[in-house]
Amino acid sequence: MTDHRSEALLLKHYRLDSAFPEAWSDPIEDLQIAQRKQFRASTTRYSILQEEGISASFTRPDADSGFVPEDEPDPLGSTSSVVRLLRDRGLPLEENTRLRNRYLISSKTFSPTAFLRDVHATTPSSELQRGLNLLSGSIAQKSGSLKLLVESNFDRFVAAKGTIEGVYKEMKANSFLDKDKESEYGVGKIRSYLNEAETKADDVFGPVMKGRGREEELRTLLSVVERHRDILEIPGLLNDCIKRKDYESLIDEYQKARKALMDARALVPTEPGSLVVNFKEEHIHQLIIAEKMWIEITFAIDDFKRDTWKRLAECRTEDNLHMELIGILLELGVEDNPIWVWLLSRYEYLKNRITTVFERSRVEIEVLRRKVASAPPPSSKAIAHHLRSPTRRIQPDPQKQLDTSRTISLWELIHSSLTALLDPTTGMLGELLSFWKTAQSFIDGDTLLPVGIDDQSRKHHRLEDLNIRMLREGTVEIVALIRDCVIAFFQEPPVDDVSTMYSPVPPTPVSSTSDEAPPTPQLPQILKAAAPQKKEGEEGYAFFPPGANSLSGVHFMGKIMVLVGNAAIAMADMAGKLGKDGIADKLKVMVAGGRERAVVAVCSSWLKDAQNCRVLEDWTRAVDNRDVTKMPGLFSAWEREIIGGMQGMVYLDKVKNSNSAVIPPPSTKLLTHVRGQFVRSLYKSLQGMVENAKKPLVDGEEVPTEVDDEGGLASPVTSISPANLMAHSVDSSDKDVRMLLTLSNLQLLRADIVPELISMFEQAFSVKLTDESKTIRDALGQIDAQLFDEYTKPIIANLTNIVTTGILTPSWSPPRGSIATEVRPYIYDALLTLVHVHSQVTTTAPSLTQPILSHLLEQLSKELLEAFKQRKRFNLGELLQATLDVEFVNQTLSQFNTARAKDWQQKIYLELDRGSDAEARQGLQGELAGMKSILSQLRKYSRAEFLCFRAKKSSSRRPEA
């Protein structure tokens, strides 16, 4: 019973004949139209004067009365023409006046529901709120105006209506009148008066009635909007969440909007066959507002999804933003799998980015390499300054002292370029590793992902087998791409025409999050010039700065090879997880090839620096050993630095997990090359020291306090001259001084430094340099003997001249029958020559005093023998004089006596004995006691002159050759 009653009330409210009408019709409107037509057809020409017609002219205007305007502005203020707006949306309002009046608020058939549904179908909630405020203000303003209008014209309205009704009654009483006599009895004139009065009444009271009805409808509309304000506010709140990037609140608002829509739809069933019962008109309003809200939400969510897809495609792996974006899309619900879309876009990005980064780096390296090659070579002072850098490790930035500033800049560019490609943390390889780690988590299903609305996103949680296979193959392809880049970096020579690969390469890195297109690259002037011509026998390395020294080479190439080794291990580990065979072997080839090229390039600069090693000599004494200059210590520090750096490059012992199969042991060929280069560097360095001793470097330039970029010198190398000698400096203009210091340096090198360097090399490379050690020792001995003879040769020549002249002169022989009581002057001259040598040696290189004077004593004894041989015959006086001369020399220089000197002295006595007769021999035996007394007196008198020969010597004797 209740159901039938409810259905009847529903049909009555909506003016329906049945619960399932085939078309919409308004029974009241149809009835009114039919009554009008019937009324007009049945009444006379005077029917307009009837009470019903007259009263109708003062009611709310409609289409039939002709007082409804053809168009109106939107009462909510959104547009100036409602008809034009609806015409643009496809509603034929010009042809259908009744349909038009449903949207014009001046009409009595105005429908608020249809007005909101069609005119404001896409109006945002914020605009509706502003329209609501405008409408409320307008209603309040017009209510007061209408009240005043009604009060001021009410008397006129009553008087006019009374007059009209009186005239109408009077004419109705004269029923004898007919149509043909209307004008004769004044009906036509009266009718014109009536029409005029009717028009004036409409002008006065039409707006009053119109405004009152409009106010009621607007109040109804306002109440509907206020009742469902929470629904209308959802789009604004959702857009605010999007602007604030508050994705958690965004999902909440989206779920709230969806729930509001579902609740509204549940109040008014719209499915075919559903019973339209138990709902009110306000339910219809709620459904319309909810549907409108959902349309706006849909537009906002669609725009947000498009922006999210774009951001997801450009998202990096490291910041984990991709997981947030994927989660949002899965929460909102999407058709495409955001996980696969992101993985695919990330793969394409990595592939293109690696090529771009590498090609751009090659261009930048070649540009700077040509600038370095075209720069003037560094001066000798600059070379010496850089080669001394191993002894200046206390400085803030030691690597800046290794080479010229331009060379260091090129090294840093090369290292940073490879770091951008190969670093497992910050480089492109790091992005690849992070990408695969994330992809693996998706493949294994280890990532916690939202299931979305009604579990509709759960289907995206697992990747298809085809997609997984594509991911694996793509990752292997990127690994091969990185490997090819490294091989090209080490193996390919410098390009002759850089412009061919420069044009498509942007000058700055392309950011993965930037939408701006890179500027068109301009070709630098240096690239338009031809590549620098290589010298004969010189191999060009695109990865090695021209003219770079061994210190910068071993430092930066060591860092680069560690970078390559770590990258190879990381790629091999990842390839193992991919299940791909053969990748480790290819990476091993990459490492071995790059290492060999790097080692050969550094070895080349090693040998060049060994030839330049002579510039390390500044002829200042070492602080801890005044017998030598700083040269041996500087040379030792330089060689140690190179040996240590080469060991790190060859064995890559600083590479993490370097025992991996990806890091192969060095080949025998490579070790042989390094071994030979070490020996050659020693030879070249020693040769440079000998050249310094014979002919020092000529430095006619003024020593600056600072040097430009080409020189790269930060602190000056002091040139020593006699005018500025200090405590640790020597007079390098004196060749004898240079020879003595070089001999002392060689003595230190031979005894300590070179053996230590050989031992260090043997330990570093696990080899025994047995043959090389012997060869190096022999070479050091030959060089030492060469310099020793070169220093002593002029002294020996002078002694030879003194002895020969003194003994062979006729005045040497004492008068016949006299006894020798004094050594001849030539002995004093020879000994004074040795005093001068002793003074020079002890003040320059004290450690050489014993070997040099011992050698000179040997040569003096030899020259005495040769001179006496030329006399052949000796009488007693000559025999005594010769014996006195020889013994005085032996006793004065007894501290420097050697076995060889004693041997020469023994031969002198044999020669004297052979040239003497029996009488002279017997006389000599009788005079020996007196001769000893004479020698003692002579030694006593000459003590001051030859006191230097009696000083104790701390240095060891020179080894006999």
Residues forming a β-bridge with 1 = none
Task: Please give the pLDDT value at position 98.
Answer: 79
Decide if 785 contacts 961 (C-beta within 8 A). yes
Percent with pLDDT over 70 in the chain: 75
Query: What is the rounded distance in angstroms from the CA atom of residue 298 to the CA atom of residue 257?
Result: 10
Using 50, 70 and 90 to split pLDDT, how confident is the model at 172? low
Instruction: Taking residues 807-836, report their average pLDDT.
Output: 87
Backbone angles phi, psi at 938, to 5 degrees: -65, -40
829, exposed or middle or buried, with CB in 10 Å at 0-12, 13-18, 19+?
middle
pLDDT recorded at residue 4: 61
Q: How far apart are CA 98 and CA 62, in angstroms?
A: 9
Distance CA 258, CA 248 (A): 16
**What does the pLDDT read at residue 832?**
92
Do residues 592 and 536 make contact, with C-beta atoms less than 8 angstroms apart?
no
- Of 402, 379, 838, 843, which is closest to residue 621 (Cα–Cα)? 843
- What pLDDT, on the 0 to 100 scale, is given for residue 109? 83
Q: Are residues 889 and 942 in contact, defined by beta-carbon separation less than 8 angstroms? A: no
pLDDT in tens, 117-142: 888 878 888 788 888 888 887 777 77
Q: pLDDT, tens digit, for every residue of 49-65?
A: 333 333 333 333 444 44
The answer on pLDDT for 598 being more than 60 is: yes
Highest-scoring range by mean pLDDT, 213-222, 231-240, 904-913:
904-913
Output 464 or 353, whichever has higher pLDDT: 353
Residue 637 pLDDT: 92
- Closest-CA residue to 629 (of 753, 788, 716, 756): 753
**What's the pLDDT band for 14 if we cut at 50, 70, 90?**
low
Summary mean pLDDT of the chain: 78
Sign of torsion over alpha carbons 753, 758, 762, 768: negative
Lowest mean pLDDT among 449-453, 573-577, 733-737: 449-453
pLDDT computed for residue 548 by the predictor: 92
Nearest Cα to Cα of residue 927 among 868, 883, 864: 883
Q: Which of 475-489, 687-701, 703-717 has the lowest mean pLDDT?
A: 703-717
Which of 177-181, 454-458, 602-606 is predicted with the least confidence, judged by mean pLDDT?
177-181
Sequential DSSP letters for 555-622: HHHHHHHHHHHHHHHHHHHHHHHHT-SSHHHHHHHHHHHHHHHHHHHHHHHHHHHHHTGGGG---BB-
Say how far apart CA 747 and CA 731 lie, in whole Å: 20
Instruction: Over range 298-309, report the average pLDDT.
Output: 85
The answer on pLDDT for 518 being more than 50 is no
Lowest mean pLDDT among 291-300, 817-826, 859-868: 817-826
Backbone φ, ψ for residue 664 (5° rounding) = -75, 155
Looking at residue 857, what is its pLDDT? 93
Does the pLDDT value for residue 916 go beyond 80?
yes
Quickly tell me which residue has 């560019």 as its tokens.
Answer: 413
- Which of 430 and 877 is assigned the larger pLDDT? 430
CA dihedral sign, ordered 897, 901, 903, 905:
negative
Evaluate if residue 699 carries a pLDDT over 70: no
pLDDT band at 482 (very low <50, low <70, confident <90, very high): very high
Max distance between CA atoms of the chain, in angstroms, equals 213
How many residues does this entry show for the chain? 961
pLDDT of residue 508: 40
The structure tokens 């017998």 sit at: 627
Q: How far apart are CA 181 and CA 185, in angstroms?
A: 6
Residue 503 reports pLDDT greater than 70: no
Predicted pLDDT at 257: 84
Q: For residue 251, what pLDDT is reported?
A: 83
In the predicted model, is pLDDT for residue 685 greater than 60? yes
Rounded Cα gap, residues 651 and 661, in angstroms: 13
Q: Which amino acid does the sequence have at 107? A: S
Q: What is the pLDDT of residue 250?
A: 82
Q: Are the C-beta atoms of residues 784 and 747 closer than 8 Å to each other? A: yes
pLDDT of 720: 42
Between 23 and 833, residue with greater pLDDT: 833
- What's the pLDDT score for residue 957? 46
Of residues 95 and 573, more confidence is placed in: 573
Tell me what pLDDT residue 836 has.
92
CATH number of 791-949: 1.20.58
Question: 610-624 pLDDT, tens per residue?
Answer: 998 889 888 888 888
User: pLDDT-derived band of residue 249, with 50, 70 and 90 as boundaries?
Assistant: confident
Q: What is the pLDDT of residue 862?
A: 92
Per-residue pLDDT at 150: 64
| Residue in this structure with the two tokens 């500087």, named with its chain if needed | 634
Q: For every residue of 485-498, which 3-state class applies, written as one string?
A: HHHHHHHCCCCCCC
Tell me: the pLDDT tens digits for 386-413? 888 888 766 666 777 888 999 999 999 9
> What is the band of 607 on the pLDDT scale with cuts at 50, 70, 90?
very high
Main-chain dihedrals φ then ψ at residue 620, nearest 5 degrees: -120, 145
Residue found under tokens 């004290």 = 846
Highest mean predicted confidence (pLDDT) among 39-53, 338-352, 451-465, 648-662 = 338-352
> For residues 63 and 97, is the Cβ–Cβ distance under 8 A?
yes
Whether 48 has a pLDDT exceeding 70, the answer reads no
pLDDT of residue 819: 76
Q: Exposed/middle/buried for 605, CB within 10 Å: 0-12, 13-18, 19+?
A: buried
Query: Would you say residue 756 has pLDDT above 70?
Result: yes
- Give the pLDDT of residue 47: 35
Burial class (CB within 10 angstroms; exposed 0-12, middle 13-18, buried 19+) of 221: buried
Distance CA 680, CA 699 (A): 27
H helix intervals, 699-750? 735-748
The helix/strand/coil state of 916 is: strand
Q: Tell me how far apart the alpha carbons of residues 424 and 320 are, in angstroms, rounded to a whole number.
A: 17
- Residue the block writes with tokens 């690849």: 432
Residues whose CB is less than 8 angstroms from the CB of residue 765 and which lie 6 or more positions away in sequence, other chains included: 647, 650, 671, 674, 675
Enter the tokens of residue 792.
């002593």
pLDDT of residue 64: 43
What was the pLDDT predicted at 538?
A: 45
Pick from 532, 601, 495: nearest CA to 375: 532
Q: How would you classify residue 621: left for phi > 0, otherwise alpha for psi between -120 and 50, otherwise beta?
A: beta
Pick the closest to residue 916 from 876, 858, 959 (CA basis): 876
Report in angstroms the alpha-carbon separations of 768 from 753, 757, 760, 764. 17, 12, 11, 11
> 333-392, pLDDT tens digit by residue?
877 888 888 888 889 999 999 999 999 999 999 999 999 988 899 888 888 888 888 887
Spell out the SS3 assignment of 145-212.
HHHHHHHHHHHHHHHHHHHHHHHHHHHHHCCCCCHHHCCCCCHHHHHHHHHHHHHHHHHHHHHHHHHH
Helices 770-808 and 825-844: angle between axes, nearest 10 degrees? 150
At 363, list the tokens. 């261009």
Most confident of 3-17, 167-181, 817-831, 887-901: 887-901
pLDDT for position 330: 83
Query: pLDDT tens for residues 522-546?
Result: 444 544 544 555 544 345 788 999 9
* Cα distances (Å, whole numbers) of residue 404 to 80, 133, 386, 427, 552: 77, 76, 8, 28, 9
| CB environment 243-257: b (16+ within 10 A), e (fewer) | eeeebeebbebbebb
Question: According to the model, what pLDDT value does residue 800 have?
Answer: 93
801 pLDDT exceeds 70? yes
CA torsion sign, 357 to 360 to 365 to 368? negative
According to DSSP, the residues that pair with 574 across neighbouring strands are: none
Lowest mean pLDDT among 2-16, 39-53, 171-185, 767-781: 39-53
Residues 700/629, Cβ–Cβ less than 8 Å: no
759 pLDDT band (50/70/90 cuts)? very high
Q: What is the pLDDT of residue 238?
A: 82
What is d(CA 203, CA 214) in angstroms, rounded to the nearest whole number? 17
Whether residue 459 has pLDDT greater than 90: no
| Whole-number pLDDT of residue 29 | 54
Where along the chain do the CATH 1.20.58 domains lie?
A: 791-949
Whether the Cβ atoms of residue 302 and residue 240 lie closer than 8 Å to each other: no
Which SS3 state, helix, strand or coil, does residue 620 take?
A: strand
Residues 821 and 941 sit within 8 Å (Cβ to Cβ): no
Question: Among residues of the chain, what percentage have pLDDT more than 90?
Answer: 25
Give the Cα separation of 935 and 940 in Å (integer): 8
Among residues 866, 881, 802, 808, which one has the least CA distance to residue 834? 802
Cα separation, 411 vs 434, whole angstroms: 28
Q: How many helices (H) and strands (E) does the chain have?
A: 32, 0
For residue 662, report the phi and psi dihedrals to the nearest 5 degrees: -75, -25
What is the C-alpha separation between 215 and 105, in angstroms, rounded? 10
pLDDT tens digits for range 843-852: 888 888 999 9
What pLDDT sits at residue 533?
Answer: 54
Q: Provide the token pair at 448.
A: 């916690």
* pLDDT surpassing 80 at residue 927: no
Reduce the DSSP state of residue 441 to 3 states and report it. Answer: helix
Q: What is the mean pLDDT of residues 564-573?
A: 91
Which pLDDT score, from 0 to 100, does residue 730 have? 74
Tokens standing for residue 315: 């998202």
* Dist CA 862 CA 870 (whole Å): 13
